[in-house]
Structure 1
Amino acid sequence: MSGRYPFLFSIPHGGVSVPPEVRGLVNLPRKEIVFNSDPSTCRLYDFGDKAEALVDFDISRIFVDTNRAPYEYPPRTQDGVVKVITQDGTPIYRKGRVPDRELIGALLRNYYYPYHERLTEALDTHPIEVAFDCHSMLPKAPPVRMDAGRPRPLFCLSNRGDRHGRPRRQGAFVTCPPEWLSALARSFETEFEGEGPVAMNDPFRGGFISTAHYRRTRIPWIQIEINRGLYETEEYLDPETHHVDEAQIAELRERIFSAITGFWDEVSG
């Protein structure tokens, strides 16, 4: 026994780096790159000393999004594995410099596939009983989404199901049992009582990571989204660097892990 929880934590969007392959093509200042990533998630979900495995990613999601299918790229889509616009519709690349198929292939080979290979290795070599794909979300839906301007919950927990965690239709799959998703929602509601709603599969149902790796191994996956309004406030956020006060991050990290372990104590007992 390792003394660690049988968890895998995937943090695919916490990086803010620009791949060298696209330097010189980018239309955005660093502040915008950071904002359009999932800043602080590598610290919020840093449970590597308590869990069997943790896999994170250095590159900003706007350049390589490991939570999208590898065939979702321009011109087929603007918000795929390689993106064309930010959350507010700003072009990511200079005019005429959007990555072509050859450059997209290099980005996939150099960054996208290695991330998924690390997840595969963790799932195949560690005693993982549940995996969490960890994200953050803006307080309101951004302009590029169909629900633009809609307020987000405090947390969104996803298993590809409906708002109760059940399969959306007969024959459809979910990435973890509905009872597990409900138990995790209750645990987050207890830990963050009175601070805001905890939703299931709304506004997010789970992405490519949880779907693909669940299908391969049948190890349960849950996607977690935390509302950035919990920590990106005037009190805690440096507007220039977008760095959040470490004490606030540490407190939230402890409470998130408390909610997760509370869930696990219930479903594994």
Structure 2
Amino acid sequence: MSRQGGKSVNGRYPFLVSIPHGGTTVPPELRGLVNLTHKEIVFNSDPYTRRLYGFDDAVEAMVDFDVSRVFVDTNRAPYDYPPRTQDGVVKVITQDGTPVFRRGQTPGRELIGTLLQNYYHPFHKRLSEALDTRPIEIAFDCHSMLPESPPVRMDAGRPRPLFCLSNRGDRNGKPKRAGGLVTCSPEWLQALARSFQAEFEGEGRVAMNDPFRGGFISVAHYRRRRIPWVQVEINRGLYETEDREAGEARLAELRGRIFSAFAGFWDEVSG
């Protein structure tokens, strides 16, 4: 592919940006079954990630998702659903342990199959089509994380870094065992971490594979095409505030700085 300073000839960076958890809508198939308020749904989604990672015409492709991850989590395997798991493709409890559905209303296999057909599989198809038809050289699966680990996790209450960059490897981005899978080379993940650390110098730690090592989206689509994938998590403490005006300004600022970190990384590794 022809490049101009790391970009493709159309001036865009050869990135796919996936935003799977930014949606907050309830599928119509589940209306009347849900136990959560709108505020609880937003809290258990990835609020504002569309604003933070919405790079529009600056990248080759963007794929996001309207439905809340509570009801259809595209970053889980399609066979991980209740009663097998409580935190699978359809959730049973939230991060703080609240039941997602009213008593006796948890979806069964048939309804989960409908949700997968109507929402889950179309999202993954859009990712596959972008990878197959666009000049993508790296994909970023973009998320937010709570400032501290929530009650349902083993490390409940543990403070989290400013950013977590994941490739399924260890804390240096290397395979956890000889021949083990990583969805992006250690060298590229380390370069990305350096770029984020430089952009956010003095504001906090940029971690690799801590506390998250990357989810289903990165692994499944890397295995299919072998195009590098990195899962990116931003600490919500960077932007969540009661002051709406200040929050809007902060989101805009962070969006520019996050893209600057992505671009700085790519200009280094593609030079």
Fold-level similarity (TM above 0.5): yes
Query: Match for residue 59 of structure 2?
Result: 51
Q: How many Å separate the matches in 2 of 1:110 and 1:246?
A: 33
Q: How many Å separate the matches in 2 of 1:217 and 1:70?
A: 19
Query: Match for residue 136 of structure 1?
Result: 144
Q: How many Å separate the matches in 2 of 1:261 and 1:189?
A: 13
Query: Match for residue 78 of structure 1?
Result: 86
Instruction: Detail structure 1 runs of 4+ shifted over 3 Å in the superposition.
Output: 234-237
Question: What aligned pairs does 1:117-136 form with structure 2 within 5 A after superposition?
Answer: 117-136=125-144
Q: How many Å separate the matches in 2 of 1:184 and 1:233?
A: 27
Q: Deviations over 1:89-135 (max 9, x none)?
A: 00000000000000000000000000000000000000000000000
Q: How many Å separate the matches in 1 of 2:175 and 2:56?
A: 31
Shift of 1:205: 0.2
Question: What aligned pairs does 1:157-172 form with structure 2 within 5 A after superposition?
Answer: 157-172=165-180
Q: How many Å separate the matches in 2 of 1:171 and 1:258?
A: 33
Q: How many Å separate the matches in 1 of 2:242 and 2:45?
A: 19
Q: How many Å separate the matches in 1 of 2:215 and 2:83?
A: 20
Query: Match for residue 195 of structure 2?
Result: 187
Q: How many Å separate the matches in 1 of 2:31 and 2:243?
A: 34
1:249 is aligned, of 248, 251, 270, to 251
Query: Match for residue 99 of structure 2?
Result: 91
**Pair 1:114 & 2:154 matched:** no
Q: How many Å separate the matches in 2 of 1:253 and 1:45?
A: 6
Query: Match for residue 161 of structure 2?
Result: 153
Give secondary structure in 2 for the equivalent of 1:210: helix
TM-score by length of 1: 0.96
1:178 is aligned, of 172, 183, 186, to 186
**Pair 1:40 & 2:48 matched:** yes
Give secondary structure in 1 for the equivalent of 2:261: helix
Shift of 1:234: 3.3
When the two structures are aligned, how many residues end up with a matched partner?
263
Shift of 1:48: 1.7
Query: Match for residue 233 of structure 1?
Result: 241
**Pair 1:63 & 2:71 matched:** yes
Quick check: 1:236–1:248 contact (8 Å CA) kept in 2?
no
Query: Match for residue 7 of structure 1?
Result: 15
Letter in 2 for 1:4: R
**Pair 1:219 & 2:221 matched:** no
Q: How many Å separate the matches in 2 of 1:152 and 1:72?
A: 26
Q: How many Å separate the matches in 2 of 1:37 and 1:176?
A: 26
Unaligned stretches of 5+ in structure 2?
1-8
Query: Match for residue 214 of structure 2?
Result: 206
Letter in 2 for 1:81: V
Q: How many Å separate the matches in 2 of 1:52 and 1:245?
A: 28
Q: How many Å separate the matches in 2 of 1:235 and 1:173?
A: 43
Q: How many Å separate the matches in 2 of 1:127 and 1:118?
A: 15
Q: How many Å separate the matches in 1 of 2:161 and 2:11?
A: 33
Query: Match for residue 20 of structure 1?
Result: 28
TM-score by length of 2: 0.96
